[in-house]
Amino acid sequence: MGGEACAIPEEGYVAALNNTGFIRFYEFWMSASVGTPSQAATNIDQLANAVYEAQTLRIPLMMRAYAESVNGTADLRFKISAFLVAQAEYCYFGYSSGWYDSDWSWHQEYDRVYGKPLSGAVSLDRAKGQWRREFEHCEVWVDVTARVGEIRWRQ
């Protein structure tokens, strides 16, 4: 989605794997620095591509989000909201400041029960990277350009 054309279209690559077990790994999920339109566009394309891979091609995904200390909880909420918009069966999320054991910690968001998805991801504004998705127990909304994510819990 954007950038240089792939040597093999993604659908062809998935078909060539012929049901071989693999997982798509996003090492820096939603972590392109923001400040220029091209940096925001990287994250916008990353989310759109992950939605397509997980929900259309049914590719398992692993999103490892870099814990940026600037916004703390807001940063985690943004990145986990983007993950929830994209995720499908066999998709996983991790949030850390590095790769050593001491760089990882448990967050209360991991214990929340979001419920089953009631819909696929809905693009509200592709240019800004605004998406939403309904789950049994909440609605998730994300604005990639503003780096904001919200999880609205049902009563």
**Whole-structure pTM value:** 0.85
Distance in angstroms (rounded) separating the CA atoms of residues 72 and 135: 25
Q: What is the pLDDT of residue 23?
A: 85
User: Residue 153, by phi and psi: left (phi above 0), alpha (psi -120 to 50) or beta?
Assistant: beta
Task: Dump pLDDT digits (tens) for 9-49.
Answer: 777 777 777 767 778 899 889 987 656 667 788 999 999 99
Distance in angstroms (rounded) separating the CA atoms of residues 61 and 54: 7
Band (pLDDT 50/70/90 cuts) for residue 70 is low
The residues near 37 (Cβ < 8 Å, ≥ 6 apart) are none
Here the tokens at position 127 are 């240019």
The H or E element that residue 81 is part of is helix 73-86
Give the pLDDT mean for 107-113.
Answer: 93
Task: Dump pLDDT digits (tens) for 114-128.
Answer: 999 999 999 999 999
User: Residue 43, by phi and psi: left (phi above 0), alpha (psi -120 to 50) or beta?
Assistant: alpha
Q: Are 49 and 1 in contact (CB under 8 A)?
A: yes
Percent of the chain with pLDDT over 70: 89
